[in-house]
Each structure stands twice: as C-alpha cells, then as structure tokens.
Amino acid sequence: MNVLRRPFVRPLAVLLVIVAWLAVGGAGGQTFGKLSEVQENDAGAFLPSSAESTEAGEWHQRFAPTESVPALLVVEAGPQDVATVQSFVDEVLAAPMEGDDAGRTVGDVTLTGPQGQGPQAFPSEDGEAVLVSFSVDAEVFEESAGEDTVGQLYVDTLRAEWAAADTGLDGYVTGPAGLVADLVEAFAGIDGILLIVALAVVLVILLIVYRSPVLPFLVLATAMIALTGAIIAVYALASADVITLNGQSQGIMFILVVGATTDYALLLVARYREELLRIESPYSALGKAWRRSLEPIAASAGTVVLGLLVLLLSDLKSNSSLGPAGAIGIAAAFLAALTLLPALLLLGGKHARGVFWPAMPRFQGREVTDVETVEALEKRTGVWGRWSRAVDRRPRVVWAAAVVFLAVLAAFLPTFKSGGLGERDVFMGEVESIQGFEVLEAHFDAGATSPIRVIAPEASADEVLDAVSGIDGITEAYILTPAVAAGAPAGAVPEDPIVIDGRVEVVGVTQVSASSAEATDIVQDVRDAVHAVDPEVLVGGQAAESLDTRLTSERDLRVIIPTILVVILVVLIALLRSVLAPVLIILANILSFAGTMGLAAIVFNTVFDFPGTDPAVPLLAFVFLVALGVDYSIFLMSRAREESLRHGSREGIRRALAVTGGVITSAGIVLAATFAALGVIPLIFLAQIAFIVSVGVLIDTFVVRSLLVPGLIGDIGRRAWWPNRGIAD
C-alpha cells in the first residue's frame, strides 16, 4: 500500500511543509531590515580593478593615504556674513551626533587641516556665497553607527544644526557626503513603502482575478515567506563579501520575488481549478495540476535564473551582484510556489475547495476538458475563447499587424538617450545636495572638492600638466606637492612635487561638479589629451568613475546580450522539443524589446524630459524583458504542445490560447504592476526600469503572447514544431 494514501500521512506532510517554511520566515524576518547594513552605494566600488579610474585611485591613495569624504556647506550670503557662518561652524563642531553608538560629536569625526586648523568659511569671488568644507575619513564615514552609518549621521547633524541655528540665510549641505546621504535616504523606502505598494497592488489584482477573500492572502503569504528565505541567503553572501549589494539590486530582488511567486501561483492555481472540475479529491486534483504545471514553471524559473546569472559576466559589480541576488529570489519563489502554496491550498483536507469560496469549482463527475470540442472550450473561456477564434480565422493578418505595430515603435529606438547620467542627475525631484550643487556651480569652481586626478610619469609631468590645463572646462591644474596634500592652496608654498615610484599626480579642477554629466565629457577630453602625451598616464577621480561605469556598461551589453539569447534558446528547445518555434519566440521577444525601448524613448524625451539614462538601464531592461517576457510564451507554448499532440498544431494553439489567456494575462498584469511599484523610490534609474519593464511586460502579454506568437504558429502549422514529428496539422 502506498504510504501517501494513508489518511493521516497527507495532512501530516502538509503540516510539516508549512512548519518548515514558517521557520524560514521566522529566521528571515529577523534579517529583513538588515540588508541596508550590507549595502554599498558608492559607484567606484562597482568598477572592475582593470578600469582606468580604479588604477588611478589606487595610485592616489599612495599620494594621499588618508582618503576623505567632503561635506560642503554652501550658503547664499555675502562677505559680511562670513563671521556668522564661521560662528556656526565653531559651534557645530561641539554638537553631538544623535544616534551614534560611540557618542561622538561632529568635531570628533571632522578631519583637521594644516596646523590643526578646523573648517573655515570663505566667500566666493563674486561675493554672493560662502563655502565651508567639512571632511571625514572615508573609513570612518562608512562605519556603522546604530541603524545608520557615521556619514549619514554626520550629514543629518549638520543639516539639523543649520536649520536650528536660524541664521536667516539659505544653506545647503552638499558635496560627496551630502549626495551619499540623499541616496541612502532615497533607498530607505525599499524595506517599507516599496513592499507595501507592491503587495497592495498585487492584492487588489488577485481579489479581482480570484473573487475570493481567502486565496489572495495565501498567495501573498507565500510570496512574503519566499522573500524572507531569499533575504537570508543574500544577507549571508553580502556579509561575507561574496557579492556587493546596493539599494537598486535589493529593490529589484524584492519585486522579482513578489512578482514571480504570484505568477507561478496563478499558473498552478488555474490548473488546479481545472482539475477540480473533473477530479473529486483535492489531493489528487492538486497532484495532477502540480505535475502538469511543473515543467512550464520550472522552465520559466530556469530561464530567468540563467538569464540573471549571465550577469555574472558583467564587469560592473552592481550588475554582477544583481545576478545571484535575483537568481536566489527567483529560486525562492519557485520553491515556495511549488511547496508552500500547495500545502496552504490543502489545509482544508477534503474540504480544501473552500479556499476558492465563494466561487468554488464544483466536481462535474466526468473528464470535462478532455472530451469537449474546441468550440465548447472557447465558449466556456469567454473573451479569450473569442480571441483565440479570431486569431485562428486570419493568423497571417494578426501576426503581420503585430509585427508592424512593434516595428513602428522600434523606429524610435535611435532617439533613446543612452549616454548616461551624472551622479547629481539620479534623483526625481529636488534634494538638498542637488540644490547645493547648483549654488556651488554658480559661485565656485564646483569641481575643486572632487577634482580629476591624473597619475603621470615624472619625466612627462610638465607636458601632461600643459595638456590638462588646455582642456575646456578645466579652471585650474597643478602638480600635487606635500603642502597641497596637507591642505594648503596650490602654489602657496614653492616646493618639489610628491614623487612615488617615478610618478607624480596632476590635479585638474573643473568648473562643473564632478557629479554632473558634463564632468564625464571633460574627463574624456582629458584622457584623449594626456594619452597622446604618454599612453601610461592614468586619469581618475569621481567623474572618471562615472565615465568608466558608462564604458563598462557598453562592454557588458556586447557580451551579455548574445549570451542570454543563446541560453534562453537552449532552454526553449529543451522544453518544446523543437528548433523553429523557439527561434520564432526569441525573434518575437527581440522585436518586443526594441519596440518597448522605442516607446520608452518617446516617453522619456517628451513626457518626463529625463536628462539621460543610467548606463545600466539598457542591459537590465533587456535581461528582464527577454527573460521575463519569454515566460508568457513558455506558459502558452508548453500548453500548446500538450494540446497539439492530441488535437493537431492549429487546434492546439487555438485551445492553448483560449485556456491560458486569462491566467497569463493576469500574471502579466501582476508582474507589470509590481515592477511599476519601483517608481515610488525617487530615483531616475528605478523609475526608468519601472516604466520599461512594466510596459514591456504588457506588450509581451497582449501583443507577443496574444497575437504575434499564436498567429505565427497558427499560420506555419506543424512546421513550427520542426523537427518534432509527433504533431499533425
């Protein structure tokens, strides 16, 4: 006797599965808010060691062993207000940093200048602003202090104390420290508001789809427990420095888990509902639904996991870390959807149909779906039955119209601004650091605090200095000397330059801030000029890191996109036992991606007026749209193959479209809605990803899966399944 058929074994197995997952949820819940502690949001930390700015940065640390992070207080004031600002500076150094475990004051963390001199206020040449530079040791800046870092508390204290001083002057804390603080503040909503918005949207959609007050909460519970499981693994890897996690990767991982778990749940539950019509036992019905859903769900999850893991080929650590983090999230979603959710669905035992209440599927007493004609099936499936009949009537016209629609959108792809963003352009709306940069650029040489750093052989130092000085946008250039390294103005003390292993450092000050997009163009001009003098020269600094990020992203596009296409093609061939159909699906998804990016270009340029696009957006958009978009074709075509083996190719795709239309459309809407939730984080990168993936998923759902692919397969017939010979016309 099969042990699983004993009446007490099945309920016990269900209970054990639920308890095991609850244990995972309990452990993961304690780690839930800790991912921010292992984040790294400094762009320079993600560049490969071979990047020119990385090599230059390593040399610079030898010239200036104490690397500092400047926090700039820029005040709109005249020379008569310098004393007021300086008085504030002297007082704020004694202010305690609230929340610091060590109980330090601002002065305890502030680096002092030459001869023990503290931060000094000095006016701009035009007499309309006053600037104070506070500096913190880079290592101290990144130390944990309670729930925040020392750097975050430092900036928060400066801002709070300035507001409390009530000087009547407008002042802003900006510079690299202020920018990092505002980025951390923007990412602070990931653990809270992002999840709340995503879950709320999914709940509303599930309530509409299931028309049940019970089932949606079982699906969401599954998604949340899957997320806690993923968090445990990602936190462990980030803590051990195996991956470099940033706020963007964390937010995308959260969305992937919620969206994927819900999609897999929709597919499994839809098949379970079908089986309940003709199988009386919920255990047996779910068992059959599970077996028939396993292959397409596994293929879907495997495609996304492999697509994400291809990101390990990226030279940008922010992309390569998203790969395993996202893959872990998808794996957790897959396991939870196929183990925890079935257990929750069977909690009622023989009364488990109650989870569908009030629209419970009733046992029909016969094999309904096996004996009904395609016409009866289309009548039963309502709007999607009428849709499948319309596609079957004129398949060539349908797929040709879909191709023309996508091609028209793709024609706008060349207008997509892929040149990158400056660090100061990453925010949606105004933040204090950006307001400060605007004042800084209006009245000072904004690049003085984060200059371009050129490492050159001593023999060619003068030529390199002349080359840097001659670049448009460079307001000052000088060779680093001991006095300048200690904080003295350039040229104040005549002395020999610092020479280390036959190299010197040439410093180039830009008029614009190093965090602006214009600064990266200046860096490129500097590189062209100094490399013509000596190919061994290295150009680094904050703006150079932004440039190298863009160049590395372009390299990643050339390497990763073909690899992902090959991986997905192999998975589709294995799933469908065909060569031609997978090729058609891949081509359809490439066209869908091009059309989506063309539409995004129109919206970004004319509606949102974005200054540009984050360098990582095109690559990540491709990964998500192709890997996730192909899921819906997988769900459709795996069912089409199953039906075609029994009814022939044309009727098979017709039946598959009718019976899967509702559930796949629901899954597409859920995934689009969850990615749209990324838009609540006020960063252009996430807003762009949210728009592109959400719109792209909807295009895949309503155009590619509903028109293009079924139209092509219906038109080509059994030849689409070549070389599979078991399918008739």
Within 13 Å of residue 644, how many CA atoms lie on the same side as its CB?
A: 29
At 62-79, the pLDDT tens digits run 887 667 888 999 999 988
Q: Is the pLDDT of residue 302 over 70?
A: yes
* 562 phi and psi angles, rounded to 5 deg: -60, -35
SS3 103: coil
Range of the domain at 514: 452-540
One-letter amino acid identity for 170?
A: D
pLDDT band, residue 699 (cuts 50/70/90): very high
Instruction: Assign 454 to helix, strand or coil.
Output: strand
CA distance 542 to 508: 12
**pLDDT score for 3:** 45
| Per-residue model confidence as pLDDT tens digits over 198-229 | 888 889 988 988 888 889 999 999 999 999 99
pLDDT at 1: 40
In a domain, 192, yes or no: no
Both structure tokens of 589 = 């998804």
CATH number at 490 reads 3.30.70
Spatial strand order in the sheet of 474-479: 474-479, 503-510, 452-457, 538-540
Which of 518, 540, 562 is the last residue in one of the domains?
540
Please give the average per-residue pLDDT across 711-722, as a whole number: 86
Show the tokens assigned to 647.
């009814």
Q: Can you list the alpha helix ranges (DSSP code H) found in 607-648?
A: 617-647
Residues 253 and 306 in one domain: yes
Domain boundary at 540, 565, 582, which? 540
Mean pLDDT over residues 663-674, rounded? 88
**297 shares its domain with 336:** yes
* 432, 434, 439, 441 alpha-carbon torsion, rounded to 10°: 160
Is 444 part of any domain?
no
Q: Is the pLDDT of residue 32 over 80?
A: no
CA distance 146 to 707: 54
Say whether both 392 and 367 belong to one domain. Answer: no
Lowest mean pLDDT among 519-523, 709-713, 717-721: 717-721
Residue 559 structure tokens: 């390497």
CA angle 642, 643, 644 (to 5 degrees): 95
Q: How far is CA 308 from CA 38, 249, 251, 613, 615, in A?
A: 21, 12, 15, 21, 18
Mean per-residue pLDDT for 614-637? 84
Asked whether residue 536 falls in the same domain as residue 571, the answer is no
Total domain count, the chain: 4
Answer yes or no: is 287 within a domain.
yes
Q: Do 571 and 662 share a domain, yes or no?
A: yes
Question: Do 84 and 21 fall into the same domain?
Answer: no
Give me the amino acid identity at 727. I
pLDDT (mean) for 676-683: 83
pLDDT over 70, % of the chain: 91
Mean of the per-residue pLDDT values of the chain: 85
SS (H, E, C) 469-508: HCCCCEEEEEECCHHHHCCCCCCCCCCCCCCECCEEEEEE
Reduced to 3 states (helix: H, G, I; strand: E, B; else coil), residue 128 is: coil
Q: Three-state DSSP class for 75?
A: strand
CATH number, domain with residue 658? 1.20.1640.10
Q: Which two tokens stand for residue 149?
A: 């870092």
Residue 130 resides in a domain: yes
Q: Is 26 helix (H, G, I), strand (E, B) or coil?
A: helix
Those residues whose C-beta lies under 8 Å from the C-beta of residue 81, and which sit 6 or more positions away, are 75, 130, 167, 169
Residue 683 has a pLDDT of 83
pLDDT at 481: 86
pLDDT at 39 over 70: no
**Would residue 191 count as lying in a domain?**
no
pTM of this structure: 0.82
Clarify whether residues 630 and 704 are in a common domain: yes
406 and 340: one domain? no
Q: How does strand 68-76 pair with strand 170-174?
A: antiparallel
In a domain, 434, yes or no: no
Q: 76-124: per-residue pLDDT in tens?
A: 998 899 999 999 999 999 999 888 888 899 989 988 765 567 888 889 8
The verdict on 611 and 657 lying in the same domain is yes
Q: Establish if 269 belongs to a structural domain.
A: yes
For range 458-485, the mean pLDDT: 89
How long, in residues, is the chain? 729
Q: CA 136 to CA 107: how far, in whole Å?
A: 10
Q: pLDDT by residue (tens digit) across 552-596?
A: 888 888 899 999 999 889 988 888 888 888 899 999 999 999 999
pLDDT at residue 336 tops 80: yes
Are both 534 and 558 inside the same structural domain?
A: no
Q: Are residues 559 and 702 both part of a single domain?
A: yes
Predicted pLDDT at 722: 82
Considering the domain boundaries, does residue 102 fall inside one? yes
More confident residue, 41 or 466: 466
The structure tokens listed for 19 are 């308890």
Q: What is the phi/psi pair of residue 427, to 5°? A: -90, 145
**458 shares its domain with 407:** no
Strand 474-479, strand 503-510: pairing: antiparallel
Residue 30 and residue 230 in contact, taking contact as beta carbons nearer than 8 Å: no
| pLDDT at 648 exceeding the cut of 90 | no
Tell me: pLDDT of 367 over 60. Answer: no
Mean pLDDT along residues 681-702? 90
Q: Is 692 exposed, middle or buried (0-12, 13-18, 19+ CB in 10 A)?
A: buried
